[in-house]
């Protein structure tokens, strides 16, 4: 949902997770469903969003004063280790944790054994009331790149501006190998491309040599928030957000750079800061309107020229599946927009997206997703306090299954033929895993 509480690398209050790791829950679909529907296991958390990381082979979660590794198929506990901090990412067989002291810990994901621990520089760490008001302090990454672990920092104050660096640590020992100071900090985890780390700050994009930490190229952008950062073939796509562009309450610029040289290929001013999807030689972006209303804009990836515009307003983040963009609108409709032509087929939602001026600008819905080859959209039944999941055959333009889940589904994912969901009911969250 747009109000998703993402697993960001931001320091937060740690919360315990009471309850056994194998609490049975009722199935939310039949075996005939296009999605897995047999309840396998679940784990409950009270008092807030559970700090967890979904890995390729397991789920890692903090419970009370420990971090656990749970098997995806059965929820079986492989290990539990006392840990100061919350899991933030698994990459390359390593599990990374961050604590409120801004320390980064590296664990062996298979055994839970601590490999190393290092203190990070907390950007913008001065306290309020001493002439500096802290705006943000966060980590971007960590990302495993061969024999190195890369971590970016981002933070700052209203008086000193934003700061940050890219740090490279030895993967085995945690020893600092080099650091690179980025203009206004890192706003995205670095991307690894042909022996280089590619990343963006508030006002520039950079390519840094992985071996030495030396700058290869720098490309200047608008001095504002970066919303999207992706490599598509030999093109680096980046969007920055600003205000008052294209007759919109919000604005932005989309940039396309040569990923090898940093040379700008094109830029496109758009009434919105985000790029959402890249597929079939097209770039799908959004135009932000008043109070969160948006519309889709499709550009040609090679030239940056507009291909089509879809004017139905929404706040959803579309997904591309079978050559169509699945998109929601404020009148509680699901639109399947042909990526080549911009023509759409519409399907009514079974519940309410709760978008609009009087209902709140962001609404209450599950952003479209592609799971097990099907499109999935979630809407809200206020009376029954349930999420209605509609499973669509996108190519045929029709709903093939509906299933109801008690509570509000915040996140869906698939791994190894399994379906996982994060559900909130009241102030309690449940992680559920379903199979066939």
Instruction: Dump pLDDT digits (tens) for 289-340.
Output: 655 567 889 999 999 999 999 988 887 888 999 999 999 988 899 999 999 9
Structure tokens at 8: 């960001």
Domain at 131-220, CATH from 2.40.110.10, 2.40.128.630, 3.90.79.10, 3.40.50.150: 2.40.128.630
Residue 91 to residue 393: CA distance in whole angstroms: 33
Phi, psi at residue 416, to the nearest 5°? 50, 40
Residue 384 to residue 379: CA distance in whole angstroms: 12
Contact call for residues 108 and 115 (beta carbons, < 8 A): yes
Greatest pairwise CA separation for the chain in angstroms: 62
Of residues 193 and 63, more confidence is placed in 193
For residue 407, give the DSSP letter: B
Please state which of the ranges 11-20, 233-242, 364-373, 415-424 shows the lowest mean pLDDT.
11-20
| 142 three-state secondary structure | strand
How many Cα atoms occupy the beta-carbon half-sphere of 208 within 13 Å? 28
Angstrom CA distances, 404 to 186, 323, 388, 398, 429, stand at 40, 28, 5, 18, 17
For residue 360, give the DSSP letter: B
Q: What is the pLDDT of residue 292?
A: 53
Q: What is the pLDDT of residue 285?
A: 85
Q: What is the pLDDT of residue 69?
A: 96
Structure tokens at 259: 């990923």
Residue 55 has pLDDT above 60, yes or no: yes
Q: What is the pLDDT of residue 7?
A: 29
Residue 34 has pLDDT above 90, yes or no: no
Contact call for residues 98 and 107 (beta carbons, < 8 A): no
Give me the residues paired with residue 296 across strands: 286, 310
Residue 185 has pLDDT above 70, yes or no: yes
Tell me whether the omega of the peptide bond preceding residue 245 falls within 30 degrees of 0, making it cis: no
Contact call for residues 412 and 423 (beta carbons, < 8 A): no
Question: How many Cβ atoms are within 10 Å of 24's Cβ, its own excluded?
Answer: 10
Question: How many Cβ atoms are within 10 Å of 182's Cβ, its own excluded?
Answer: 28
Q: What is the pLDDT of residue 29?
A: 37
pTM of the entire predicted model: 0.83
Q: What is the pLDDT of residue 314?
A: 81
Q: Span 192-213, mean pLDDT?
A: 93
Q: Span 191-211, mean pLDDT?
A: 93
Tell me the pLDDT of the chain averaged across its residues: 81
| 190 three-state secondary structure | coil
Q: Span 355-365, mean pLDDT?
A: 61
Residue ranges per structural domain of the chain: 131-220
Contact call for residues 253 and 239 (beta carbons, < 8 A): yes
Of residues 6 and 207, more confidence is placed in 207
Per DSSP, the chain holds a count of helices (H) and strands (E) of: 0, 37
> Percentage of the chain with pLDDT > 70?
80
Structure tokens at 245: 């562009």
For residue 50, give the DSSP letter: -
Q: What is the pLDDT of residue 272?
A: 65
Please state which of the ranges 25-39, 149-163, 337-351, 379-393 shows the lowest mean pLDDT.
25-39
Condensed to tens digits (0 to 9), the pLDDT of residues 108-119 reads: 999 999 999 998
Phi, psi at residue 291, to the nearest 5°? 55, 40
Of residues 261 and 272, more confidence is placed in 261
Of residues 360 and 355, more confidence is placed in 355
Contact call for residues 273 and 288 (beta carbons, < 8 A): yes
Structure tokens at 401: 């299954």
Phi, psi at residue 292, to the nearest 5°? 90, -5
Sign of the CA dihedral running 361, 363, 366, 370:
negative
Structure tokens at 241: 């957000």
Q: What is the pLDDT of residue 126?
A: 40
Residue 261 to residue 207: CA distance in whole angstroms: 9
Element (H, E) at 182: none
Phi, psi at residue 109, to the nearest 5°? -65, -25
């Amino acid at each position: 949902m747009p109000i998703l509480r993402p697993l960001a690398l931001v320091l937060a209050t740690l919360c315990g997770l009471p309850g056994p790791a194998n609490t049975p829950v009722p199935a939310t679909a039949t075996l005939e469903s296009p999605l897995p529907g047999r309840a396998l296991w679940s784990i409950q958390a009270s008092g807030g969003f559970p700090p967890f990381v979904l890995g390729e082979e397991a789920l890692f979660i903090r419970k009370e004063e420990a971090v656990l590794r749970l098997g995806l198929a059965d929820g079986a506990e492989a290990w539990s280790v006392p840990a100061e901090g919350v899991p933030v990412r698994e990459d390359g067989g390593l599990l990374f944790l961050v604590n409120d002291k801004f320390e980064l810990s590296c664990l062996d994901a298979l055994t839970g054994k601590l490999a190393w621990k290092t203190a990070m520089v907390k950007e913008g760490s001065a306290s309020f009331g001493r002439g500096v008001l802290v705006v943000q302090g966060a980590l971007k990454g960590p990302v495993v790149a061969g024999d190195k672990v890369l971590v970016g920092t981002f933070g700052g104050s209203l008086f000193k501006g934003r700061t940050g660096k890219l740090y490279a640590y030895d993967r085995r020992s945690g020893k600092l190998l080099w650091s690179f100071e980025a203009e206004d900090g890192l706003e995205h985890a670095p991307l690894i491309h042909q022996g280089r780390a590619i990343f963006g700050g508030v006002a520039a994009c950079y390519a840094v040599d992985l071996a030495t930490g030396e700058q290869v190229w720098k490309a200047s952008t608008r001095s504002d928030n970066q919303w999207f950062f992706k490599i598509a073939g030999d093109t680096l796509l980046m969007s920055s957000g600003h205000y008052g562009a294209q007759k919109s309450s919000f604005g932005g610029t989309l940039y396309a750079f040569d990923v090898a040289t940093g040379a700008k290929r094109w830029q496109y001013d758009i009434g919105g800061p985000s790029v959402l999807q890249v597929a079939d030689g097209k770039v799908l972006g959004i135009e932000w309107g008043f109070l969160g209303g948006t519309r889709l804009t499709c550009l040609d990836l090679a030239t940056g020229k507009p291909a089509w515009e879809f004017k139905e307003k929404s706040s959803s983040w579309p997904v591309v599946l079978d050559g169509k963009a699945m998109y929601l609108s404020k009148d509680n409709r699901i639109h399947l927009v042909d990526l080549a032509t911009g023509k759409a087929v519409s399907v009514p939602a079974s519940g309410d997206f709760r978008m609009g001026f009087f209902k709140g600008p962001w609404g209450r819905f599950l952003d479209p997703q592609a799971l097990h080859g099907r499109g999935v959209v979630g809407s809200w039944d206020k009376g029954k306090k349930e999420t209605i999941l509609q499973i669509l055959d996108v190519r045929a333009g029709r709903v093939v299954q509906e299933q109801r889940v008690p509570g509000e589904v915040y996140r869906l994912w698939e791994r190894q033929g399994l379906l996982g969901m994060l559900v909130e009911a009241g102030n309690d969250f449940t992680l559920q895993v379903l199979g066939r």
